[in-house]
Amino acid sequence: MDKRDYIAQVDDLRCPQALRERIGALPGQVRRPRRHWLPLCACAAVVLIGAGGFLLLQNGGLGGSSAGGGHEEGSSVFLSYAGPVFPLTVLDGAELSAGREITLDFSLWDRTWISNQEEAASRTELTEAGRRQVLDDYNEWFPDGGRYESSTDLLVHDAYVLTNSTQQAQTVTLLYPFVGQLQHLSAQTPTLTVDGVPAEATLRSGGYSGGFQGALGADLITAETAGSLNLDQLDSWEDYKALLSDGSYLAQALGDGPDLSGIPVTVYRFTDPWGPEANEDVPNPSIRATFALDYKQTTVLSYGFHSGRFDRENGVMGQGFSIREPGEAGYGTPCYLIILGEDISGLTTQGYVTGGWDTEETVEAGVTVSRYETDLDTVLRETAQLMYRERQERLEGVDFELYYGLLRDFLASYGALSDAPAERYDAGWLEELDVESVDRVFYLEVPLTIPPGETVTAEASFRKAGSFDYYCAHTENQGVYGYDLVTQLGSALTFSSQSARLCGARSVEIVRQNFGFDLEHGIDQVVLDPEAEHYYLEVRRAPS
């Protein structure tokens, strides 16, 4: 790793690629225009697909949406909104009262000295020679022997005292909701304890929480330009209120999802491709599969293909893939065409010097094609296993059944199986479904029995990313981070009290808030108004 690589990791949010990866949004109701400009620094990668082509803005991000989010009057509208902290809830109509105390700990903002020796020693995956090289590199970059690091994450400790005032034992299901993404789930999942003992929680997940918009962005949409090419994430706590208030989102998260086993499909499986090695004359040896179909009667899903041509007028489709060489990602992995509806006809394959459909220069190449019939659930599960293995490094903490269930739901809600599929997924490429990179609300589920007249303490602890504006945006919120919570939203509990405590705030100064903290006068604990739905706190780093 050279110094530029190190800086790219430490200062991730300042780099254009990280900004591109954070551009995104999520499904639901029609979004109201809220942003009055589209930050050029947050522009995303462009992918050209097919003869006509379309623009696709890639999305992703660590712990926040990129749609421009905010709160009620008096608080900021951030370009990246991380979502609020939600209250605990219960199922089963329990007769419980609850007291809540939430602690907002800013100690991660403190600058911590990391020595070069510590950095090298932590690289346990390397050989001894590799660690010595790392130490030499760090000594060159940081001649003082190390560097200071800090985080803008918040440590949240959300504690509840649950009281059963009845004369009967109350058996309930606790649900603790939090905003997250599959690709960052291991870092975002709270730790739950009940009476100080770690709880064995079942993870449930709701669907993608946002919507879609046209290529021009929300502010430039007209009747002629409206579309569903780009993600449009939730951008305020009010949007989460709209998402969760009627209970349908939670019901979906606790449900079984669509059953795809009854949908018959025809599968074309491509294995053992061969062709020339890449060289100056053949820069990207590729195979294209071309076939005829009736676009109105046939839907094509695919896995492993990454170029295409879609000619609806003439009833022709082409799908292409590079011939992988040993050692390359995807080598030995089959490709799939999954046909729903009427079968395709006239399938031919041909090798080309590149994967671009504007190139007609052919090469000697081939592939084995197997045709068989099955059901959609079987083949989708098979391809999902391949995607899951490819992405396992960024799906830490996500088991396959959760991943597969959300892939299946996404396909049914927004992909080819939807009654109103998003333009974003027109190509039918399963890899393009934004399953792991969109925000959603997760729930940690814990069964609990509280004897008559007794109390139980349930506590959730986790890191929470802040909402922020991109560094290149040059807004008045440069360097400001926002954190917010909701008091009642989505909860079936009756709260007898709620309070908030601020600690570890040595390195921050408060810019805006509605909590009532006053650090100069020692007020670091406040009682929350039960009539106030939402509280926010915005801070920046205090002058050294």
Yes or no: say if 437 and 66 are a contact pair by the CB < 8 Å rule.
no
Q: In which band, very low, low, confident or very high, does the pLDDT at 73 lie, cut at 50, 70 and 90?
A: low
User: Cα separations (Å) of 208 from 156, 268, 450?
Assistant: 24, 30, 34
Nearest CA to 28 out of 165, 179, 228 is that of 228
Give the span between the Cα atoms of 240 and 84, in whole angstroms. Answer: 8
The beta strands (E) that lie in 257-404 are given as: 264-274, 286-292, 298-303, 307-311, 316-322, 335-341, 345-352, 362-363, 366-375
Give the span between the Cα atoms of 179 and 270, in whole angstroms. Answer: 39
Q: Can you give the length of the chain in residues? A: 544
- Report CA dihedral (181, 187, 190, 195) to the nearest 10 degrees: 160
Q: Where are the alpha helices (DSSP H) in 181-335?
A: 185-188, 237-244, 248-254
Mean pLDDT of 286-294: 97
Mean pLDDT of 407-420: 93
Give the span between the Cα atoms of 10 and 227, in whole angstroms. Answer: 37
Tokens 């949240």 — which residue? 156
Q: In which band, very low, low, confident or very high, does the pLDDT at 301 lie, cut at 50, 70 and 90?
A: very high
Element (H, E) at 537: strand 534-541
* Segment 486-532, tens digit of pLDDT: 999 999 999 999 999 999 999 999 999 999 999 999 999 999 998 89
pLDDT of residue 218: 53
| Sheet strands side by side (includes 197-198) | 197-198, 191-194, 455-464, 154-163, 97-105, 494-503, 525-527
Yes or no: say if 193 and 458 are a contact pair by the CB < 8 Å rule.
yes
Distance of CA 112 to the CA centre of its chain: 29
- Report CA dihedral (162, 166, 170, 175) to the nearest 10 degrees: -30
Yes or no: say if 438 and 233 are a contact pair by the CB < 8 Å rule.
yes
Is a pLDDT exceeding 50 seen at residue 178?
yes
Q: Domain map of the chain by residue range?
A: 3-109+153-253+439-541, 112-149, 264-416
**Is the pTM value of this prediction over 0.75?**
yes
pLDDT of residue 72: 53
* Segment 385-409, tens digit of pLDDT: 999 999 988 898 899 999 999 999 9
The beta strands (E) that lie in 393-507 are given as: 440-450, 455-464, 480-486, 494-503
346 conformational bin, left if phi > 0, alpha if psi -120 to 50, beta if neither = left
pLDDT of residue 226: 64
pLDDT of residue 392: 87
Q: Given the DSSP bridges, would you call strands 494-503 and 97-105 parallel, antiparallel or unpaired?
A: parallel
Give the span between the Cα atoms of 436 and 70, in whole angstroms. Answer: 24
